[in-house]
Amino acid sequence: MNAPTQSKDYIGREEGGLDDFDREYELDQLLPMDLLEKGIPHLLQLGLDKSLILHPGGEVHFSASMVREQELSLLTRGIANCPPDGMLVDIDLYKARVYPLTHEMEIIGYLVLGPSLPETSPMESLINSIINEFMGMNQKILMTAGLHGRVVEDTYEALEKRNQLLVESEQKYRSLACCLEKEVEKKAEKIQKAQDMLLMQEKMASIGQLAAGVAHEINNPMGFISSNLNSLREYGADFRAVLSAYREVVSALEKNLSPDQLPGRILEKLSAVASLEKDLDMDFLFEDILVLIDESMDGADRIKRIVMDLKDFAHPGKHEIQYVNLNCIMDSTLNIVRNELKYKTEVILEYGSLEDVPCYPQQIGQVFMNLLVNAAQAMESTGEIHIKTYMEKGHAVVEVRDTGKGIEPEHLSRIFDPFFTTKEVGQGTGLGLNVAYKIMERHRGSISVTSHPGHGACFVIKMPLASPES
């Protein structure tokens, strides 16, 4: 029987047999080309079309697209002192993030992901993690395959003795392959969720810009309406003054002249005017006109306040830290979501005296809006939302408690996870509370929830007095 051809992927007899489980592998063994090529569509979809893997000497092992000599030269010089946690390298018109690939505590290559942007940074870290897991899994698979090859090449007697080892190796191989497949599925799911979240954030940003533009367009005609109503009120007062003057003239004529002294035609006209005033009830009309104008001006002012609150909430340009009273942000948010709440909830306010806190007001308004809308949607018919604010140990605290159906105990640990929702399809994206949690993290604050099914839920927000950027 002819001995099988020796493969470089197997551990041969001359290489020490079972003792070679610490063998060092090369980059093309740990990251085979057919495996890497399957990832090209995902890299292109993420916008990382300038990604590649280099050998320590700068030779290209794999690339998602064509690499220019100038780019390769810049990369080769830039990766010389790459730290273990990666670094950014300037490549002509873009930046690339470089991670070292290590095996047996030695660098065997470099992972280059580009163009690197702030929004792709989480993806880059995730891809580096996946590549390293691939390398670790492939190393174990190669070890197992090497043992299998060693046993096949051995004599019948050695094969008898090592039969049990072969069975164990095969089981280990299958287990590793199964684990690798599950791990890839998990990582792919994470990438898909991250993509969905980025898409949702882009949509929300577009909606915010659109809302700000609409608010601006509504604000202009409302200015005309308010101005015209104010002028109309002044005109009404003038008309009333003129009518009073006419009445004084008529009264003077009737007092100082007898009917015989007035021409018949004038008497007829005066009688017709008096009859018309009585039929039209002119006193009531002038009183009611002023009341109607006042009510219209009040309505116009309310529309203007809502529009201004909406414009402040949705305006995309205000991204600087401001010192704001959380009571004011809550009032503005309540004004925006009033229509969502007024038909099924009663809002009960218990404001305490709060110190101004440093924050991004639009983002805190987004947190309040998400909590208020969720509370309203938790009401099966009607209920109450209690809002309480107070100071506690250097923090401004806001409690939002509702009398809705509450949260099941098994859901409490997942309530802030992205895309988790218990609402019906079409009623929620599962991002509202996750967005609120991320915003509070950015402000170095906290958000927590307590709930008992059937007795509502209580969300507690704590904002520190120290700036999140300090």
Task: Output the average pLDDT for the chain.
Answer: 78
Q: Retrieve residue 183's tokens.
A: 């791990």
pLDDT > 70 in the chain, percent: 76
Encode 235-271: b = buried (16+ Cβ within 10 Å), e = exposed: ebeeebeeeeeeeeeeeeeeeeeeeeeeeeeeeeeee
Q: Are 50 and 116 contacting, i.e. CB atoms less than 8 angstroms apart? A: no
What digits encode the pLDDT tens for the residues 155-207?
Answer: 666 667 777 787 887 888 888 888 888 888 888 777 776 666 655 555 555 55
Q: Retrieve residue 19's tokens.
A: 């003792």
Whether the bond into 115 is cis, omega within 30 of 0: yes
* All residues at 6 or more sequence positions from 13 whose CB lies less than 8 Å from its CB, including other chains: 150, 153, 154
Q: Retrieve residue 433's tokens.
A: 């509370």
What digits encode the pLDDT tens for the residues 310-359?
Answer: 655 555 445 578 899 999 999 988 887 887 787 888 999 999 999 999 99
13-161 belongs to CATH 3.40.50.300: no
CA distance 398 to 351: 9
pLDDT of residue 2: 41
pLDDT band for position 400 (50/70/90)? very high
CA distance 452 to 252: 79
- Helix-helix angle 121-153:163-256, to 10 degrees: 170
Q: Are 321 and 468 contacting, i.e. CB atoms less than 8 angstroms apart? A: yes
What's the whole-model pTM score? 0.41
What digits encode the pLDDT tens for the residues 236-267?
Answer: 777 778 777 777 777 777 677 666 666 767 77
CATH superfamily placement of domain 322-464: Histidine kinase-like ATPase, C-terminal domain (3.30.565.10)
Q: Retrieve residue 312's tokens.
A: 């402040």
Q: Are 27 and 59 contacting, i.e. CB atoms less than 8 angstroms apart? A: no
CA distance 46 to 97: 14
What digits encode the pLDDT tens for the residues 376-385?
Answer: 888 888 889 9
Looking at per-residue pLDDT, the higher value among 335 and 16 belongs to 335
